[in-house]
Structure 1
């Protein structure tokens, strides 16, 4: 596939996807998301790519989605955009290989909820994390999902209702990112990926499956599913 908004590099056993939108603030478009999904599938099929790294362009990781003039769009057009946006989130969260977000700059809106779909995230020190929808008279809907998984209700409401921006250090404290990088965030992400892929990738995959399977369940339900995973894992010696 010929890519217009995405580039793929393969280095140090990693597939590195860089998204370059034709919209300001590196916004996600329907065509751009289709390319990201295609690039993800290409890296999934490539046995060289043991991990997937995603990064943005210039000073933006991603500030959300580009809907165009939604006041002139019908419900079907808006739903089409929402469908591929949720598909992108779902595919990234269920990706069979380790995924790392190399947060190269400011992140907000749908870009912030997209960040939540990655296994790990590293960020430059000057990046800001926000829900800017309120500044345009809108409420963050899908965008709020990722934030509520990290932050307290009070922080969520302050970000959603007042447009509060979190610094990288605040995002680290809230659990949005794993580390703040002072140097080249992409190089650090590759080092991170190299450390992960040196371990047992089947075991890492089981961790991802278990995390997804137990999301939103009670503690007792999580224990029951964990018991099933334990039995399956130990009986199937080929997985580990």
Structure 2
């Protein structure tokens, strides 16, 4: 059996591909375990500074969960098995110290939209479609979507998407702030790698501390988050990269960041 998730490193960028095109890259227990391993390997690789996630084939990013598997489960089994795995893997991606980019090449429904909600930046092909259609199956988003969507787009729009279960175009997803950018499908991966390479040129240590400030601060009251930011920027000013960046600016030369 082919690897359900593949990992490829292109210089300082890791490309993680969910590789089940025959099922539109649907998520099941084995695929989630493979995704967790790939993310862990990229996380542990000091040369990797940015992760790009996409789906195999030209039809889907991730079309959702495995409906037959869901139908075979009762509540407690779902909670303790698939639900636990989904939340653990998605939270790992969300809180990763390295920036993440979704390259959405097709359908991103249910678990597909919930996965991209865990990534930092989302670029979509103009043919991509998004949605949380679980309500049409007598369910509701259970891989973090009901909470993350409400926090990332206008609450009234989040409720509309979840209550109706409709699919929306890439253009509409960009308009409501669900994704960053829409490009022609032929340009998707080039655009994703161009952005990833640009981010990878920054200090990896500063990106790590910035990502922590963003993730932690998002879950704090504003007063506490500002204190946290103050402490984190103090740590940054102790790095060699911060002083290299300032010196390079004053010397009118490119900075040579070393991650220290």
Q: TM (normalized to structure 1)?
A: 0.90
Alignment deviations for residues 20-76 of structure 1 (CA, whole Å, 9 cap, x no partner): 237633211110011011111222223332221110123111122225354543444
Deviation at 1:143, TM superposition (A): 2.4
Whether 2:190 is the aligned partner of 1:193: answer: no
Counterpart position of 2:86: 85
SS of residue matched to 1:217:
coil
Counterpart position of 1:207: 210
**More divergent stretch after superposition (92-101 vs 65-74):** 65-74
SS of residue matched to 2:218:
coil
Tell me the C-alpha RMSD between the 2 structures. 2.1
Alpha-carbon distance in 2 for matches of 1:22, 1:188: 22
Alpha-carbon distance in 2 for matches of 1:232, 1:12: 28
Alignment of 1:42-191 (within 5 A): 42-58=41-57, 59-66=59-66, 68-79=68-79, 80-141=81-142, 142-182=144-184, 183-191=186-194
Number of aligned residues: 238
Alpha-carbon distance in 1 for matches of 2:69, 2:4: 21
Whether 2:41 is the aligned partner of 1:38: answer: no
Higher-Rg member (1/2):
2
Alpha-carbon distance in 2 for matches of 1:187, 1:230: 33
Whether 2:19 is the aligned partner of 1:20: answer: yes
The unaligned stretches of length 5 or more in structure 1 are: none
The unaligned stretches of length 5 or more in structure 2 are: 243-260
Deviation at 1:220, TM superposition (A): 1.6
Q: TM (normalized to structure 2)?
A: 0.83
